[in-house]
């Protein structure tokens, strides 16, 4: 929790002034019953009309002053809490941006979304109500009890007993509700996860007619969430009726005891009215305090989850190299030395004992069956994941000793799933190189065989929907290739980037890449042997292990796995004509 306090820096004045103004408002409010008692005892009973008018004017003045203090205090509370909310959202977003793929896999996207939205809003609301009521409500409750002692000590004991009983009720409710709210938030994470899955996979659901099954699963998840929220609501609902019963019982006792004391001349009518007003004030503030405690219990749980996330160490923590890393003369651009990878708590290895070298200008083809570890292998180069054993060397230096930003700026990555962002075609290409000129972007599109995208959409300023949904699968892939090429990377990674392309377009794309004048080291992942057959080195993977490495002709003779893939696609003994 202390981790979140720093996000109030810059709002120290508001954090102090808000409770202070609310405290002063409470002071003026506590004076009102005494003024009313004076009006009854010294004004109405004595027939002093002038005194009554003066006291009414005083009450109006106190009310106006209290209103001004209340509005000012709430303004400062809103400003501080809004700044606090902004700070923690920026911190969470920055934390997410710095997380490795392993961190994101372990924590889960739905959980991160909830931390950034629901939990942040809850923490912000909790701070707002805390600043407004942290001094006001307790002061009025205690102040009302103290003021009753100045009027009549025996009657004041009724207030003391009432406060103690109510404190016990509120404590029991809060202690019972906090664990339920925590379980409710975990259930909300599950609902968010299902919602995200169904929205992103809606076409698959319809294709396989799985709507009814997913509706039932969603109903189960929301039913569990609703059950927990109802339970929390029932526990919290005990607060108000219990408070009303206790307060009204105390009022009955107060009026009964007060009536006797008025008849005996021990107390005046004005004092009884003042005591009644103090009891009413205490009732209102107790209800506010009860809601405050319920809100704070929820906010405390949310703040704890946020603090836990911000305190999580991310996987992308590379040691800072002393001085600039020098490239070793003659060293391979990329070298794998006995590399093995294991995902999280998985019992098996995704990659095992992988070793090969790729020099500047080389083209390396990575081929293998589904789940053989192809994407895992190339994800190690820009350090989206780290190997669990062995070394990945870039120009002779262990990638884990290099600055991550510099390493990734040297790489151009075309991911397996083509992702474009809402905006224009120009804005998407500038992700690859923020300083690229129009000519450079057009050249990248030409190299990526994406000129038709320009013609059909209307040039670089053409609108692109989120995820590029207004483009075809092949167009999205070619634009993402252009986005990588506009950077002029030293290492170009094409992760199955031609899967949506026809053979002719795929062949032209590979030909354009092979003719690049800056000679990047290119990694091509594909399940087509035609896409990798001209590579300088082809690495064949099966179940995470290298079962063959060499040229197309060598592998046809020496690697049964590669030969089988090739024969399935082109027929036994066949060729694709390249």
Q: With beta carbons less than 8 A apart as the criterion, state whether 72 and 21 touch.
A: yes
Q: For residue 575, what pLDDT is reported? A: 54
Return d(Cα 53, Cα 61) in angstroms, integer: 12
Could you give the angle at which helices 136-151 and 120-133 cross, rounded to 10 degrees? 30
State which H helix or E strand residue 101 sits in.
helix 101-107
The whole model's pTM is what? 0.69
Alpha-carbon gap, residue 11 to 526, rounded angstroms: 55
Please answer whether residues 439 and 408 qualify as being in contact, where contact means their C-beta atoms are separated by less than 8 angstroms.
no
Task: Report phi then psi at 414, rounded to 5.
Answer: -110, 100
pLDDT reported for residue 82? 92
CATH number of 328-410+490-578: 3.40.50.300
Q: What is d(CA 78, CA 290) in angstroms, rounded to the nearest whole number?
A: 21
- Contact between 409 and 387 (Cβ < 8 Å): no
| C-alpha dist (Å) from residue 177 to 174, 203, 273 | 5, 40, 37
Rounded Cα distance, 264 and 266, in Å: 6
Measure the CA–CA gap between 429 and 256, rounded to whole angstroms: 81
Residue 439 is encoded by which pair of tokens? 């000519």
Q: β-strand 389-394 against 397-398: which pairing, if any?
A: antiparallel
Q: Determine the straight-line distance between the first and last CA of the chain, rounded to whole angstroms.
A: 64
pLDDT at 359: 92
* C-alpha pair distances (Å), 430 with each of 132, 408, 459: 47, 15, 14
Residues 359 and 333: their CA atoms lie apart, in Å, by 5
Per CATH, is 416-488 categorized as 3.40.50.2300? no
- Residue 103 near residue 317 (C-beta atoms within 8 A): no
* Residues 42 and 51: beta-carbon distance below 8 Å: yes
Could you identify the residue written with the tokens 């999580």?
312
Contact 544, 373 (CB under 8 A): yes
**What CA–CA distances, in Å, run from 2 to 8, 125, 209, 313?**
11, 18, 50, 17
d(CA 576, CA 578): 6
The answer to whether 424 and 461 have CB atoms below 8 angstroms apart is: yes
The CATH 3.40.50.300 domain(s) of the chain lie at 328-410+490-578, 416-488
What six digits make up the tokens of 137? Answer: 């409500």
CB 569, CB 369: distance < 8 Å: no
Helices 136-151 and 269-310: crossing angle, nearest 10°? 160
List of E strands, 173-229: none
Q: Which CATH superfamily is domain 2-310 in?
A: ABC transporter type 1, transmembrane domain (1.20.1560.10)
Whether 431 and 483 have beta carbons less than 8 Å apart is answered as yes
469 by DSSP, 3-state: which? coil
Pairing of strands 537-542, 363-368: parallel
Residue 157: its pLDDT value, please? Answer: 82
Instruction: Classify each residue of 127-158 as buried b or exposed e, where b means 16 or more C-beta atoms within 10 Å of its C-beta.
Output: bbbbbbbbbbbebbbebbbebbeebbeebbeb
DSSP letters spanning 292-359: HHHHHHHHHHHHHHHHHHHTSPPS--PPPPSSPPPPPTT--SEEEEEEEE--TT-SS-SEEEEEEEE-
Q: Where in the chain is the domain with CATH 1.20.1560.10?
A: 2-310
Q: Is 462 helix (H, G, I), strand (E, B) or coil?
A: coil
By the 10 Å C-beta count (0-12 exposed, 13-18 middle, 19+ buried), 370 is classed as: exposed
Predicted confidence pLDDT, tens digits, the chain (578 residues): 567 888 888 888 898 999 899 888 888 888 888 888 888 877 787 777 888 888 889 889 988 998 999 899 999 999 999 999 999 999 999 888 888 787 887 788 878 888 888 889 988 988 888 888 877 888 888 888 788 888 888 877 887 788 788 878 877 877 787 788 778 877 887 888 888 888 878 888 888 888 888 899 999 999 999 998 888 888 877 877 887 788 788 888 888 888 888 888 788 888 888 888 887 787 778 777 777 777 787 788 788 888 888 888 766 554 444 444 556 767 899 999 999 998 876 667 889 999 999 999 999 999 988 888 898 999 999 988 888 899 999 998 999 889 888 998 999 999 888 888 988 889 999 998 999 998 999 999 888 888 877 776 678 888 888 878 888 888 888 899 999 999 999 999 998 877 777 778 888 888 888 888 888 999 999 888 888 888 999 999 998 899 999 999 999 999 999 999 888 877 665 555 44
Distances (CA, A) of 122 to 17, 110, 116, 286: 22, 17, 10, 22
- Full DSSP string of 104-173: HHHH-HHHHHHIIIIIHHHHHHHHHHHHHHTTHHHHHHHHHHHHHHHH-HHHHHHHHHHHHHHHHHHHHH
């Amino acid at each position: 929790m202390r981790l979140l306090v720093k996000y109030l820096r810059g709002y120290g004045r508001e954090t102090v002034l808000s409770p202070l103004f609310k405290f002063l408002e409470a002071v003026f409010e506590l004076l009102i019953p005494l003024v009313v008692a004076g009006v009854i005892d010294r004004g109405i009973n004595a027939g002093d009309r002038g005194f009554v008018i003066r006291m009414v004017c005083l009450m109006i003045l106190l009310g106006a002053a209290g209103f001004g203090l209340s509005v000012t205090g709430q303004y400062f509370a809103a400003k501080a809490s809004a700044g606090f909310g902004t700070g923690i959202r920026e911190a969470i977003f920055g934390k997410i941006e710095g997380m490795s793929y392993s961190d994101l896999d372990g924590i889960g996207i739905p959980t991160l979304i909830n931390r950034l939205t629901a939990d942040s809003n809850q923490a912000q609301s909790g701070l707002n109500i805390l600043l407004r009521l942290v001094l006001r409500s307790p002061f009025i409750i205690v102040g009302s009890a103290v003021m009753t002692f100045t009027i009549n000590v025996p009657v004041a004991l009724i207030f003391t007993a009432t406060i103690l009983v109510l404190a016990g009720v509120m404590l029991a409710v809060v202690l019972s509700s906090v664990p339920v709210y925590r379980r409710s938030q975990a259930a909300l994470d599950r609902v968010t996860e299902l919602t995200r899955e169904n929205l992103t996979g809606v076409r698959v659901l319809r294709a396989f007619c799985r709507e009814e099954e997913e509706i039932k699963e969603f109903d189960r998840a929301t039913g569990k969430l609703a059950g927990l929220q109802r339970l929390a609501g029932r526990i919290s609902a005990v607060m108000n009726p219990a408070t009303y019963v206790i307060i009204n019982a105390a009022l009955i006792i107060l009026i009964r005891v007060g009536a006797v004391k008025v008849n005996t001349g021990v107390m005046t009518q004005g004092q009884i009215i003042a005591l009644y007003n103090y009891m009413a004030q205490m009732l209102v503030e107790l209800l506010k305090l009860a809601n405050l405690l319920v809100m704070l219990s929820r906010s405390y749980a949310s703040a704890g989850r946020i603090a836990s996330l911000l305190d999580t160490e991310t996987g992308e923590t590379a040691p800072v190299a002393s001085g600039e890393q020098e490239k070793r003369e003659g060293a391979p651009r990329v070298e794998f030395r006995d590399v093995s990878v294991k995902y999280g708590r998985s019992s098996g290895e995704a990659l095992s004992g992988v070793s090969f070298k790729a020099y500047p200008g080389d083209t390396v083809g990575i081929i293998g069956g589904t789940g053989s570890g192809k994407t895992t292998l190339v994800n190690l180069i820009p350090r989206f994941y780290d190997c669990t054993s062995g070394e990945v060397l870039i120009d002779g230096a262990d990638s884990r000793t290099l600055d991550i930003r510099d390493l990734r700026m040297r790489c151009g990555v075309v991911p397996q799933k083509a992702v474009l962002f809402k905006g224009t075609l120009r804005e998407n290409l500038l992700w690859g190189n923020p300083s690229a000129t129009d000519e450079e972007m057009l050249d990248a599109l030409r190299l990526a065989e994406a000129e038709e995208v320009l013609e059909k959409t209307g040039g670089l300023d053409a609108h692109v929907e989120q995820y590029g949904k207004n483009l075809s699968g092949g167009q999205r892939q070619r634009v993402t290739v252009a986005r990588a090429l506009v950077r002029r990377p030293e290492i170009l990674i094409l992760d199955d980037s031609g899967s949506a392309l026809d053979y002719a377009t795929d062949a032209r794309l590979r030909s354009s890449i092979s003719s690049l004048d800056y000679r990047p080291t290119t990694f091509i992942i594909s399940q087509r042997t035609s896409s990798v057959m001209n590579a300088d080195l082809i690495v064949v993977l099966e179940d995470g292990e290298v079962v063959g490495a060499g040229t197309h002709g060598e592998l046809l003779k020496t690697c049964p796995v590669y030969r089988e893939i090739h024969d399935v696609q082109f027929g036994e003994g066949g060729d694709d004509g390249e």
